[in-house]
Each structure stands twice: as structure tokens, then as C-alpha cells.
Amino acid sequence: MTILYHSGTVFIIIGVLFFLSGTVGLLRFPDIYTRLHALTKADNVGLGFVVFGLALQSGTLTVAIKLLLIWFLVLIASSASCHLIASSAMQKKIVPWTRP
């Protein structure tokens, strides 16, 4: 086991922690807009860490490039779906949460 394998494992664990924080945000935040923010930000960063950790462990450059391409495509899909959900919520006149 090399240093790349262990550092990849550390990056994967950091990514999983970001995924967990996004899940906590989904469960704890009060409205759809803040929940979307928590999910898209935390999941995109978490997936970035997981992909980087897997790229370090892959051993070949072609697999690492494929993983980075997958991450890039997920970033595009995530932002597009978040925008569609938020605009649908605005059209349905769902009011953003404010502090009482």
C-alpha cells in the first residue's frame, strides 16, 4: 500500500463527511431553497473529494480523466436540476423562509 492509496482514502473520507453534512442540511433546514443550497453545495464538493481520492487510487491516467469527466457532468446536471426545482417552487409561489 502506497502513500497514494492512503491519501486517496483520506480524500474519500472527507468527501463522505461532506455528503453527511448535506444530508443533515436536507433534514434540518426549513424550506426548499435552503435545502437545495445545502444539497448542491455539499454534494458537489463531497463528490469532488471522492473523485479525487478515487483518481489517486486508480493508478492510471485514463481512469482518472474519466472520473474527472464524470464529476464535471454531475456538476452540470446538479446545477441544472437545482435551478429547475427552485424556479418551479417560485412559480408555485413558495415563499422563502425568513427569521421570525
Give 59's contacts (C-beta < 8 A, 6+ positions apart).
none
Q: Note whether residue 96 is domain-resident.
A: no
Local confidence pLDDT in tens for the 100 residues of the chain: 789 899 999 999 999 999 999 999 889 998 999 999 888 889 999 999 999 999 999 989 999 999 999 999 999 999 999 999 999 999 999 888 888 8
E strand residue ranges, the chain: none
Q: Note whether residue 99 is domain-resident.
A: no
If one counts the domains in the chain, the total is 1
Q: Note whether residue 33 is domain-resident.
A: yes
What pTM was estimated for this model as a whole? Answer: 0.86
Q: Note whether residue 100 is domain-resident.
A: no
Q: Note whether residue 98 is domain-resident.
A: no
Q: Which domain holds residue 55?
A: 3-91
